[in-house]
Protein backbone atom coordinates (compact mmCIF):
# COMPACT_ATOMS: atom_id res chain seq x y z
CA UNK A 1 0.00 0.00 0.00
CA UNK A 2 1.15 3.55 -0.61
CA UNK A 3 1.58 5.97 2.29
CA UNK A 4 -1.82 7.64 1.86
CA UNK A 5 -3.63 4.29 1.95
CA UNK A 6 -1.64 3.15 5.00
CA UNK A 7 -2.44 6.43 6.73
CA UNK A 8 -6.15 5.99 5.97
CA UNK A 9 -6.11 2.48 7.48
CA UNK A 10 -4.19 3.64 10.52
CA UNK A 11 -6.63 6.47 11.22
CA UNK A 12 -9.55 4.08 10.70
CA UNK A 13 -8.17 1.70 13.34
CA UNK A 14 -7.52 4.55 15.77
CA UNK A 15 -11.14 5.62 15.41
CA UNK A 16 -12.25 2.04 16.15
CA UNK A 17 -10.09 1.98 19.28
CA UNK A 18 -11.64 5.23 20.46
CA UNK A 19 -15.20 4.03 19.83
CA UNK A 20 -14.62 0.68 21.56
CA UNK A 21 -13.27 2.49 24.62
CA UNK A 22 -16.44 4.61 24.64
CA UNK A 23 -18.60 1.46 24.54
CA UNK A 24 -16.52 -0.13 27.30
CA UNK A 25 -16.97 2.92 29.54
CA UNK A 26 -20.73 3.01 28.97
CA UNK A 27 -21.16 -0.69 29.71
CA UNK A 28 -18.94 -0.50 32.79
CA UNK A 29 -21.44 1.94 34.32
CA UNK A 30 -24.21 -0.62 33.82
CA UNK A 31 -22.51 -3.38 35.80
CA UNK A 32 -20.38 -4.00 38.88
CA UNK A 33 -17.53 -6.43 39.50
CA UNK A 34 -18.40 -9.72 41.17
CA UNK A 35 -17.18 -10.81 44.59
CA UNK A 36 -13.40 -11.16 44.86
CA UNK A 37 -11.91 -14.63 44.57
CA UNK A 38 -9.16 -16.06 46.74
CA UNK A 39 -6.68 -14.45 44.36
CA UNK A 40 -8.20 -11.05 44.94
CA UNK A 41 -9.63 -10.69 41.44
CA UNK A 42 -13.38 -10.13 40.89
CA UNK A 43 -15.33 -13.20 39.81
CA UNK A 44 -17.06 -12.10 36.64
CA UNK A 45 -19.35 -9.12 36.10
CA UNK A 46 -22.76 -8.55 37.66
CA UNK A 47 -25.14 -6.77 35.30
CA UNK A 48 -27.43 -4.06 36.68
CA UNK A 49 -30.36 -4.12 34.18
CA UNK A 50 -32.09 -1.10 35.68
CA UNK A 51 -29.05 1.03 34.78
CA UNK A 52 -29.38 0.18 31.09
CA UNK A 53 -32.55 2.27 30.88
CA UNK A 54 -30.63 5.38 31.83
CA UNK A 55 -27.86 4.60 29.34
CA UNK A 56 -30.03 3.47 26.41
CA UNK A 57 -29.54 6.67 24.42
CA UNK A 58 -25.76 6.53 24.87
CA UNK A 59 -25.69 2.84 23.91
CA UNK A 60 -27.79 3.48 20.79
CA UNK A 61 -25.46 6.30 19.75
CA UNK A 62 -22.42 4.08 20.31
CA UNK A 63 -23.95 1.34 18.13
CA UNK A 64 -24.70 3.87 15.40
CA UNK A 65 -21.12 5.17 15.57
CA UNK A 66 -19.76 1.63 15.18
CA UNK A 67 -22.03 1.03 12.18
CA UNK A 68 -20.70 4.23 10.59
CA UNK A 69 -17.16 3.10 11.29
CA UNK A 70 -17.81 -0.27 9.66
CA UNK A 71 -19.02 1.37 6.43
CA UNK A 72 -15.87 3.47 6.28
CA UNK A 73 -13.62 0.54 7.12
CA UNK A 74 -15.32 -1.64 4.48
CA UNK A 75 -14.65 0.92 1.77
CA UNK A 76 -10.96 1.16 2.65
CA UNK A 77 -10.51 -2.58 3.10
CA UNK A 78 -12.29 -3.45 -0.16
CA UNK A 79 -10.00 -1.04 -1.99
CA UNK A 80 -7.04 -3.24 -1.03
CA UNK A 81 -8.65 -6.05 -3.01
CA UNK A 82 -7.95 -4.16 -6.23
CA UNK A 83 -4.22 -4.63 -5.71
CA UNK A 84 -2.46 -7.15 -7.93
CA UNK A 85 -1.03 -9.21 -5.09
CA UNK A 86 -0.51 -12.97 -5.36
CA UNK A 87 -0.12 -13.35 -1.58
CA UNK A 88 -3.52 -11.76 -1.08
CA UNK A 89 -5.07 -14.33 -3.43
CA UNK A 90 -3.43 -17.18 -1.52
CA UNK A 91 -4.77 -15.88 1.79
CA UNK A 92 -8.31 -15.52 0.48
CA UNK A 93 -8.25 -18.93 -1.21
CA UNK A 94 -7.26 -20.55 2.08
CA UNK A 95 -10.33 -22.33 3.38
CA UNK A 96 -9.43 -21.27 6.91
CA UNK A 97 -9.30 -17.58 6.04
CA UNK A 98 -11.44 -15.83 8.63
CA UNK A 99 -11.82 -12.77 6.42
CA UNK A 100 -13.18 -14.73 3.47
CA UNK A 101 -15.66 -16.59 5.68
CA UNK A 102 -16.86 -13.65 7.76
CA UNK A 103 -16.89 -11.09 4.93
CA UNK A 104 -17.94 -12.89 1.72
CA UNK A 105 -17.94 -9.53 -0.08
CA UNK A 106 -14.15 -9.79 -0.18
CA UNK A 107 -14.33 -12.82 -2.44
CA UNK A 108 -16.83 -11.11 -4.75
CA UNK A 109 -14.60 -8.07 -5.20
CA UNK A 110 -11.37 -10.02 -5.53
CA UNK A 111 -12.88 -12.44 -8.06
CA UNK A 112 -14.12 -9.51 -10.13
CA UNK A 113 -10.52 -8.42 -10.77
CA UNK A 114 -9.35 -11.82 -11.96
CA UNK A 115 -9.84 -13.66 -15.22
CA UNK A 116 -12.89 -15.97 -15.08
CA UNK A 117 -12.21 -19.69 -14.85
CA UNK A 118 -13.35 -22.13 -17.52
CA UNK A 119 -15.97 -23.36 -15.04
CA UNK A 120 -17.58 -19.94 -14.63
CA UNK A 121 -21.33 -20.06 -15.41
CA UNK A 122 -22.60 -18.54 -18.63
CA UNK A 123 -24.24 -15.16 -18.14
CA UNK A 124 -25.96 -15.06 -21.53
CA UNK A 125 -29.76 -14.93 -21.23
CA UNK A 126 -32.64 -15.31 -23.70
CA UNK A 127 -33.99 -12.00 -24.93
CA UNK A 128 -37.64 -12.78 -24.14
CA UNK A 129 -39.43 -13.11 -20.78
CA UNK A 130 -42.48 -15.41 -21.26
CA UNK A 131 -45.49 -14.49 -19.13
CA UNK A 132 -43.95 -11.19 -18.09
CA UNK A 133 -44.55 -7.60 -19.09
CA UNK A 134 -42.11 -4.74 -19.52
CA UNK A 135 -42.96 -1.44 -17.83
CA UNK A 136 -41.45 2.00 -18.26
CA UNK A 137 -39.78 3.58 -15.23
CA UNK A 138 -40.65 7.29 -15.46
CA UNK A 139 -37.79 9.71 -16.20
CA UNK A 140 -35.33 6.87 -16.78
CA UNK A 141 -34.11 4.71 -19.66
CA UNK A 142 -34.26 1.69 -17.34
CA UNK A 143 -37.22 -0.68 -17.60
CA UNK A 144 -39.02 -2.98 -15.17
CA UNK A 145 -39.98 -6.58 -16.04
CA UNK A 146 -42.59 -8.34 -13.88
CA UNK A 147 -45.31 -11.01 -13.99
CA UNK A 148 -48.25 -10.08 -16.22
CA UNK A 149 -50.67 -11.77 -13.81
CA UNK A 150 -50.58 -9.96 -10.43
CA UNK A 151 -51.95 -13.10 -8.70
CA UNK A 152 -48.72 -14.96 -9.51
CA UNK A 153 -45.53 -14.87 -7.49
CA UNK A 154 -43.95 -11.45 -8.01
CA UNK A 155 -40.51 -12.43 -6.72
CA UNK A 156 -39.12 -12.68 -10.26
CA UNK A 157 -38.89 -8.95 -10.91
CA UNK A 158 -36.02 -7.55 -12.95
CA UNK A 159 -34.55 -4.28 -14.14
CA UNK A 160 -33.48 -4.00 -17.79
CA UNK A 161 -30.57 -1.71 -18.61
CA UNK A 162 -30.22 -1.21 -22.38
CA UNK A 163 -26.67 -0.15 -23.19
CA UNK A 164 -25.50 2.22 -25.90
CA UNK A 165 -25.42 0.40 -29.27
CA UNK A 166 -22.22 -0.94 -30.81
CA UNK A 167 -21.22 -1.35 -34.42
CA UNK A 168 -21.36 -5.02 -35.56
CA UNK A 169 -17.60 -5.00 -36.20
CA UNK A 170 -17.04 -4.35 -32.47
CA UNK A 171 -19.33 -7.18 -31.34
CA UNK A 172 -16.71 -9.49 -29.80
CA UNK A 173 -14.94 -6.70 -27.91
CA UNK A 174 -18.26 -5.28 -26.71
CA UNK A 175 -19.51 -8.70 -25.60
CA UNK A 176 -16.36 -9.24 -23.56
CA UNK A 177 -16.79 -5.86 -21.85
CA UNK A 178 -20.46 -6.51 -21.08
CA UNK A 179 -19.69 -10.00 -19.76
CA UNK A 180 -17.03 -8.48 -17.50
CA UNK A 181 -19.59 -6.01 -16.14
CA UNK A 182 -22.15 -8.77 -15.55
CA UNK A 183 -19.56 -11.02 -13.90
CA UNK A 184 -18.27 -8.33 -11.57
CA UNK A 185 -21.79 -7.49 -10.44
CA UNK A 186 -22.61 -11.11 -9.53
CA UNK A 187 -22.43 -10.23 -5.83
CA UNK A 188 -25.44 -10.92 -3.60
CA UNK A 189 -25.06 -7.88 -1.33
CA UNK A 190 -26.75 -4.98 -3.14
CA UNK A 191 -27.18 -2.93 0.03
CA UNK A 192 -23.49 -3.26 0.88
CA UNK A 193 -22.38 -1.92 -2.49
CA UNK A 194 -25.32 0.26 -3.57
CA UNK A 195 -25.30 -1.72 -6.84
CA UNK A 196 -27.95 -4.16 -8.02
CA UNK A 197 -27.06 -7.82 -8.46
CA UNK A 198 -26.70 -8.80 -12.12
CA UNK A 199 -28.54 -11.85 -13.46
CA UNK A 200 -26.92 -11.76 -16.90
CA UNK A 201 -27.25 -10.09 -20.30
CA UNK A 202 -28.52 -10.63 -23.83
CA UNK A 203 -27.83 -9.03 -27.21
CA UNK A 204 -30.05 -8.12 -30.15
CA UNK A 205 -29.49 -6.84 -33.66
CA UNK A 206 -31.07 -3.43 -34.19
CA UNK A 207 -31.31 -0.95 -37.03
CA UNK A 208 -31.90 2.80 -36.95
CA UNK A 209 -31.92 5.14 -39.95
CA UNK A 210 -30.56 2.34 -42.11
CA UNK A 211 -27.57 1.71 -39.82
CA UNK A 212 -27.19 -1.70 -38.19
CA UNK A 213 -26.09 -2.04 -34.58
CA UNK A 214 -25.72 -4.61 -31.83
CA UNK A 215 -27.52 -3.68 -28.62
CA UNK A 216 -26.76 -5.34 -25.28
CA UNK A 217 -29.19 -5.40 -22.37
CA UNK A 218 -28.03 -6.11 -18.82
CA UNK A 219 -30.57 -7.71 -16.47
CA UNK A 220 -30.52 -6.84 -12.76
CA UNK A 221 -32.42 -8.48 -9.92
CA UNK A 222 -34.65 -6.42 -7.63
CA UNK A 223 -33.39 -6.77 -4.03
CA UNK A 224 -35.52 -8.71 -1.56
CA UNK A 225 -37.86 -6.75 0.72
CA UNK A 226 -37.73 -3.84 -1.74
CA UNK A 227 -40.33 -2.85 -4.29
CA UNK A 228 -41.74 -0.06 -6.44
CA UNK A 229 -38.57 1.10 -8.21
CA UNK A 230 -38.59 4.77 -9.17
CA UNK A 231 -35.90 6.89 -10.72
CA UNK A 232 -34.24 9.42 -8.46
CA UNK A 233 -35.43 12.01 -10.97
CA UNK A 234 -39.04 10.97 -10.32
CA UNK A 235 -38.48 11.27 -6.56
CA UNK A 236 -36.96 14.74 -6.89
CA UNK A 237 -39.76 15.94 -9.14
CA UNK A 238 -42.74 14.54 -7.27
CA UNK A 239 -41.93 13.86 -3.61
CA UNK A 240 -41.79 16.41 -0.80
CA UNK A 241 -38.28 16.91 0.60
CA UNK A 242 -38.95 14.96 3.78
CA UNK A 243 -36.60 15.10 6.73
CA UNK A 244 -32.94 16.06 6.66
CA UNK A 245 -32.14 12.52 7.79
CA UNK A 246 -33.86 11.12 4.72
CA UNK A 247 -31.84 13.38 2.41
CA UNK A 248 -28.57 12.49 4.14
CA UNK A 249 -29.40 8.78 3.80
CA UNK A 250 -30.10 9.16 0.08
CA UNK A 251 -26.88 11.12 -0.43
CA UNK A 252 -24.89 8.43 1.38
CA UNK A 253 -26.41 5.77 -0.89
CA UNK A 254 -25.23 7.69 -3.95
CA UNK A 255 -21.72 8.22 -2.60
CA UNK A 256 -21.43 4.55 -1.65
CA UNK A 257 -22.51 3.30 -5.07
CA UNK A 258 -20.00 5.51 -6.91
CA UNK A 259 -17.25 4.24 -4.63
CA UNK A 260 -17.99 0.60 -5.39
CA UNK A 261 -18.36 1.10 -9.14
CA UNK A 262 -14.69 2.06 -9.07
CA UNK A 263 -13.79 -0.64 -6.56
CA UNK A 264 -15.14 -3.13 -9.11
CA UNK A 265 -12.91 -1.52 -11.74
CA UNK A 266 -15.25 0.59 -13.91
CA UNK A 267 -16.03 4.17 -14.74
CA UNK A 268 -19.77 4.68 -15.05
CA UNK A 269 -19.90 7.62 -17.50
CA UNK A 270 -23.64 8.12 -17.07
CA UNK A 271 -24.19 9.40 -13.53
CA UNK A 272 -27.42 11.40 -13.32
CA UNK A 273 -30.74 11.01 -11.45
CA UNK A 274 -32.23 8.87 -14.22
CA UNK A 275 -29.52 6.25 -13.63
CA UNK A 276 -30.32 5.85 -9.92
CA UNK A 277 -33.27 3.75 -8.75
CA UNK A 278 -35.00 4.33 -5.42
CA UNK A 279 -36.79 1.32 -3.91
CA UNK A 280 -39.26 1.40 -1.05
CA UNK A 281 -38.75 -1.01 1.84
CA UNK A 282 -41.58 -3.47 2.54
CA UNK A 283 -40.91 -3.04 6.25
CA UNK A 284 -41.16 0.75 6.49
CA UNK A 285 -41.42 3.82 4.27
CA UNK A 286 -37.67 4.27 3.87
CA UNK A 287 -36.04 4.52 0.45
CA UNK A 288 -32.87 2.72 -0.64
CA UNK A 289 -31.10 4.12 -3.69
CA UNK A 290 -29.02 2.00 -6.10
CA UNK A 291 -26.97 2.92 -9.13
CA UNK A 292 -27.76 1.25 -12.47
CA UNK A 293 -27.87 2.99 -15.86
CA UNK A 294 -24.58 1.56 -17.11
CA UNK A 295 -25.41 2.68 -20.66
CA UNK A 296 -21.94 4.03 -21.45
CA UNK A 297 -19.72 2.20 -18.94
CA UNK A 298 -16.20 0.98 -19.61
CA UNK A 299 -13.41 -0.68 -17.67
CA UNK A 300 -11.36 1.88 -15.78
CA UNK A 301 -8.24 0.95 -17.75
CA UNK A 302 -10.10 0.22 -21.00
CA UNK A 303 -10.34 2.15 -24.22
CA UNK A 304 -12.50 5.27 -24.32
CA UNK A 305 -14.61 6.04 -27.39
CA UNK A 306 -14.81 9.78 -26.62
CA UNK A 307 -18.36 9.92 -27.91
CA UNK A 308 -20.77 12.60 -26.72
CA UNK A 309 -24.35 13.56 -27.53
CA UNK A 310 -26.76 16.48 -27.57
CA UNK A 311 -28.75 15.39 -24.51
CA UNK A 312 -29.51 18.23 -22.11
CA UNK A 313 -30.64 15.88 -19.33
CA UNK A 314 -27.31 14.03 -19.45
CA UNK A 315 -25.03 16.86 -20.51
CA UNK A 316 -25.86 18.93 -17.44
CA UNK A 317 -24.14 16.30 -15.29
CA UNK A 318 -20.96 16.17 -17.37
CA UNK A 319 -17.81 18.07 -16.56
CA UNK A 320 -16.93 20.83 -19.09
CA UNK A 321 -14.05 18.70 -20.42
CA UNK A 322 -16.56 15.98 -21.38
CA UNK A 323 -19.07 18.17 -23.22
CA UNK A 324 -20.04 18.04 -26.88
CA UNK A 325 -20.09 15.31 -29.52
CA UNK A 326 -16.30 14.83 -29.32
CA UNK A 327 -15.16 15.43 -25.72
CA UNK A 328 -11.61 16.70 -25.34
CA UNK A 329 -10.62 14.62 -22.29
CA UNK A 330 -10.44 10.90 -21.66
CA UNK A 331 -12.91 9.72 -19.05
CA UNK A 332 -11.52 9.10 -15.55
CA UNK A 333 -13.00 8.50 -12.10
CA UNK A 334 -13.05 12.21 -11.31
CA UNK A 335 -15.60 12.76 -14.08
CA UNK A 336 -17.97 10.43 -12.22
CA UNK A 337 -17.22 12.33 -9.00
CA UNK A 338 -18.15 15.61 -10.69
CA UNK A 339 -21.46 14.13 -11.88
CA UNK A 340 -22.09 12.83 -8.36
CA UNK A 341 -21.60 16.37 -7.05
CA UNK A 342 -24.41 17.67 -9.28
CA UNK A 343 -26.74 14.92 -8.00
CA UNK A 344 -25.81 15.67 -4.37
CA UNK A 345 -26.56 19.33 -5.01
CA UNK A 346 -30.04 18.43 -6.26
CA UNK A 347 -30.72 16.27 -3.21
CA UNK A 348 -29.48 18.99 -0.86
CA UNK A 349 -31.60 21.73 -2.45
CA UNK A 350 -34.36 19.18 -3.17
CA UNK A 351 -35.06 20.39 -6.65
CA UNK A 352 -34.59 18.71 -9.99
CA UNK A 353 -32.36 20.64 -12.37
CA UNK A 354 -34.26 19.08 -15.29
CA UNK A 355 -37.98 19.57 -15.86
CA UNK A 356 -40.36 18.13 -18.45
CA UNK A 357 -43.48 19.09 -20.31
CA UNK A 358 -46.96 18.03 -19.18
CA UNK A 359 -46.54 14.62 -20.85
CA UNK A 360 -43.31 13.89 -18.99
CA UNK A 361 -41.36 14.33 -22.20
CA UNK A 362 -39.09 16.97 -23.75
CA UNK A 363 -36.46 17.47 -21.01
CA UNK A 364 -35.39 21.06 -20.37
CA UNK A 365 -33.45 23.00 -17.76
CA UNK A 366 -35.53 23.85 -14.70
CA UNK A 367 -36.06 27.31 -13.25
CA UNK A 368 -33.09 26.72 -10.92
CA UNK A 369 -30.95 28.40 -13.58
CA UNK A 370 -33.10 31.53 -14.08
CA UNK A 371 -32.84 31.27 -17.86
CA UNK A 372 -35.25 32.92 -20.31
CA UNK A 373 -38.08 30.55 -21.21
CA UNK A 374 -37.74 31.28 -24.93
CA UNK A 375 -34.22 29.79 -25.23
CA UNK A 376 -33.80 27.53 -28.24
CA UNK A 377 -32.42 24.00 -27.96
CA UNK A 378 -29.07 25.15 -29.33
CA UNK A 379 -28.88 28.06 -26.88
CA UNK A 380 -29.71 25.70 -24.02
CA UNK A 381 -26.98 23.30 -25.12
CA UNK A 382 -24.52 26.17 -25.35
CA UNK A 383 -25.33 27.17 -21.76
CA UNK A 384 -24.92 23.56 -20.56
CA UNK A 385 -21.54 23.22 -22.26
CA UNK A 386 -20.06 26.59 -21.32
CA UNK A 387 -21.78 28.08 -18.27
CA UNK A 388 -23.69 25.44 -16.30
CA UNK A 389 -20.70 24.24 -14.26
CA UNK A 390 -20.06 27.72 -12.88
CA UNK A 391 -23.74 28.20 -12.07
CA UNK A 392 -23.88 24.87 -10.22
CA UNK A 393 -20.82 25.76 -8.15
CA UNK A 394 -22.40 29.11 -7.29
CA UNK A 395 -25.55 27.33 -6.08
CA UNK A 396 -23.43 25.03 -3.91
CA UNK A 397 -21.58 27.98 -2.38
CA UNK A 398 -24.51 30.32 -1.81
CA UNK A 399 -27.61 28.16 -1.30
CA UNK A 400 -26.63 24.73 0.00
CA UNK A 401 -25.31 25.49 3.49
CA UNK A 402 -28.64 26.88 4.66
CA UNK A 403 -30.36 23.65 3.54
CA UNK A 404 -27.87 20.94 4.54
CA UNK A 405 -25.13 22.57 6.61
CA UNK A 406 -21.58 23.71 5.85
CA UNK A 407 -19.99 20.24 5.88
CA UNK A 408 -22.40 18.81 3.30
CA UNK A 409 -21.88 21.90 1.14
CA UNK A 410 -18.10 21.42 1.40
CA UNK A 411 -18.38 17.82 0.18
CA UNK A 412 -20.47 18.91 -2.81
CA UNK A 413 -18.00 21.67 -3.69
CA UNK A 414 -15.14 19.17 -3.46
CA UNK A 415 -16.93 16.98 -6.02
CA UNK A 416 -17.76 19.86 -8.36
CA UNK A 417 -14.16 21.13 -8.38
CA UNK A 418 -12.38 17.76 -8.32
CA UNK A 419 -10.88 18.36 -11.78
CA UNK A 420 -9.82 21.95 -11.10
CA UNK A 421 -6.01 22.36 -10.85
CA UNK A 422 -6.38 24.38 -7.63
CA UNK A 423 -8.45 21.69 -5.86
CA UNK A 424 -6.11 20.59 -3.06
CA UNK A 425 -7.79 17.17 -2.76
CA UNK A 426 -8.02 16.01 -6.38
CA UNK A 427 -6.47 18.73 -8.56
CA UNK A 428 -2.98 17.29 -9.09
CA UNK A 429 -3.55 14.43 -11.56
CA UNK A 430 0.07 13.27 -11.25
CA UNK A 431 -0.82 11.94 -7.78
CA UNK A 432 -3.23 9.41 -9.28
CA UNK A 433 -1.09 7.53 -11.78
CA UNK A 434 -0.62 4.31 -9.79
CA UNK A 435 -1.12 1.05 -11.68
CA UNK A 436 -3.99 -0.27 -9.55
CA UNK A 437 -5.96 3.00 -9.57
CA UNK A 438 -6.09 2.99 -5.79
CA UNK A 439 -4.79 6.45 -4.92
CA UNK A 440 -7.78 8.32 -6.31
CA UNK A 441 -10.04 5.84 -4.50
CA UNK A 442 -8.26 6.55 -1.22
CA UNK A 443 -8.74 10.28 -1.72
CA UNK A 444 -12.43 9.79 -2.55
CA UNK A 445 -13.01 7.70 0.59
CA UNK A 446 -11.19 10.26 2.72
CA UNK A 447 -12.61 13.48 1.28
CA UNK A 448 -16.12 12.44 0.24
CA UNK A 449 -17.36 9.12 1.65
CA UNK A 450 -16.05 9.44 5.22
CA UNK A 451 -17.06 13.08 5.54
CA UNK A 452 -20.60 12.37 4.36
CA UNK A 453 -20.97 9.23 6.48
CA UNK A 454 -20.21 11.19 9.64
CA UNK A 455 -22.99 13.72 9.03
CA UNK A 456 -26.14 12.95 11.01
CA UNK A 457 -29.07 14.99 12.22
Look at residue 51 in the predicted model and tell me its pLDDT.
63
Strand 198-208, strand 158-162: pairing:
unpaired
Please say if the pLDDT value at position 119 is more than 60.
no
Q: Tell me the pLDDT tens digit for each residue of 30-69.
A: 766 655 665 555 555 666 665 666 667 777 777 777 777 7
CA distance 19 to 27: 12
- Which sequence spans correspond to the domains of the chain? 115-453
Look at residue 39 in the predicted model and tell me its pLDDT.
58
The chain-wide mean pLDDT, for the chain, equals: 83
Instruction: Report the percent of the chain where pLDDT is more than 90.
Output: 43
Q: How far is CA 133 from CA 69, 219, 292, 319, in A?
A: 42, 14, 20, 37
Q: How far is CA 272 from CA 233, 360, 404, in A?
A: 8, 17, 20
Look at residue 101 in the predicted model and tell me its pLDDT.
45
pLDDT band at 200, cuts 50/70/90?
very high
By three-state DSSP, how is residue 31 classified? strand
Total residue length of the chain: 457
Look at residue 129 in the predicted model and tell me its pLDDT.
81
Provide the CATH number for the domain formed by 115-453 in this structure. Answer: 1.10.510.10
Q: Tell me the pLDDT tens digit for each residue of 361-390.
A: 889 999 999 888 888 889 999 999 999 999
More confident residue, 429 or 315: 315
Instruction: Report the percent of the chain where pLDDT is more than 70.
Output: 77
pTM of the model: 0.84
Amino acid sequence: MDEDHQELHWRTLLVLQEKLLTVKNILSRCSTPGAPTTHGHPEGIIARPWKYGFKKKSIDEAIRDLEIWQKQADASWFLILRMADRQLDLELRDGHSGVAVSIPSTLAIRASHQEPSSEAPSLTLPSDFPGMITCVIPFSHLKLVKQADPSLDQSGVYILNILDPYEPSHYQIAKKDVRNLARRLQHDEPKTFGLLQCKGFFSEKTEAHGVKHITFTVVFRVPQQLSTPRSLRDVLLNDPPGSLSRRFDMARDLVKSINYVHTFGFVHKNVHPGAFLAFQSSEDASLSVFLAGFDSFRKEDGRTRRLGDDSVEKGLYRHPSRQGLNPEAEYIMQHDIYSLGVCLLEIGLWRSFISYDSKGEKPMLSDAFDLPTELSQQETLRFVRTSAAGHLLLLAREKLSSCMGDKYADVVQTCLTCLDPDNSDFGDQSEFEDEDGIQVGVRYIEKVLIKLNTLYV
